[in-house]
Structure 1
Amino acid sequence: MTQEEFLEKNVFAGLAKHDDNNGNFYFSEEDFSEVLKQSEHFGIAIYDIKTMFNGEEHKTINHDMFRKKATDVNWYKREFSHLKREQEGMQYTATYKVSKKLLAR
């Protein structure tokens, strides 16, 4: 199974997503919250979170900015909370890394 297949089947299933034609799927605040919950459940690493507002890229944050590991749930949950308060109505995407162990299941 590829990383994309795993994400589609186990993380993005049932969620409304918008493809930016660069291979990124953007989600509403509510759906992205579910993506983060599923990522935490499966132990998926999240390297960065990108936001879009009114169809334009808004802000990108990366785990390195906070000196945290990409698998540290606290960094992305805390920063997602900050982003939600910063601007309403944004769409969110992330860069994920699914472990080989999960892909082999």
Structure 2
Amino acid sequence: MEKIQFLEKNIFLNLENLNNEHDSDSILFFSESDFEIILERIEKLGIGIYEIKPRLEGDSFDVKVNEDYRKKATDPRWYRKAFSEFKKQQSNLQYSATYKVSDKLLNRQTIGSKEHS
């Protein structure tokens, strides 16, 4: 299973992609509340985040990467802190991120799908 397929089925499910730019279909942006749900879901599955790139009214706002916090991509402390800092800095941001999904997770396909077959 491809990484984006895995993320769509297990992480982005029932969340709204706010990116309406046709030339960058692979970059998904989410509201603050949806991104909070994404962080909860990835933490449960052990998925990492390399960088968080919010935007404000369609323009790039800032970027934070796990190396800035001297943490591994899979350490939720860094991305939780970065998200909190962004929320304090500016409201109404839309968030995108670069995710680290292990091959082990990708090979499991959809979480829970094998138990039902």
Q: TM-score range by the shorter chain?
A: over 0.9
After TM superposition, the structure 1 = structure 2 runs for residues 57-72 of structure 1, keeping only pairs within 5 Å, are 57-72=60-75
Please state which structure has a larger fraction of its residues in strand.
1
Query: Which AA in structure 2 matches 1:34?
Result: I
Q: Which has the larger radius of gyration?
A: 2
Q: Which runs of 5+ in 2 are unaligned?
A: 109-117
Select which of 46, 53, 58 maps to 2:56: 53
Q: 1:30-56: per-residue Cα shift (whole Å, max 9, x none)?
A: 000001111101111100000100110
Identity of aligned residues (%): 44
Q: Which moved more, 1:87-96 or 1:18-27?
A: 18-27
Gaps in structure 1 of 5+ consecutive residues: none
Q: TM-score, normalised by structure 2?
A: 0.86
TM-score, with structure 1 as normaliser: 0.96
Following the alignment from structure 1 to structure 2, what is the Cα–Cα distance between the partners of residues 4 and 65?
Answer: 25
**Separation in structure 2 between the aligned mates of residue 18 and residue 25 of structure 1, nearest angstrom:** 7
The equivalent position to 2:43 in structure 1, one of 34, 40, 45, is 40
Residue 9 of structure 1 corresponds to 9
SS at match of 1:48: strand
Q: Give CA-to-partner distance per residue, 1:55-93, whole Å, 9 cap, x none.
A: 100000000111111010100011101101110001001
| AA partner of residue 32 (structure 1) | F
Q: Which amino acid aligns with 2:34?
A: D
Q: Count how many residue pairs are aligned between Structure 1 and Structure 2.
A: 105
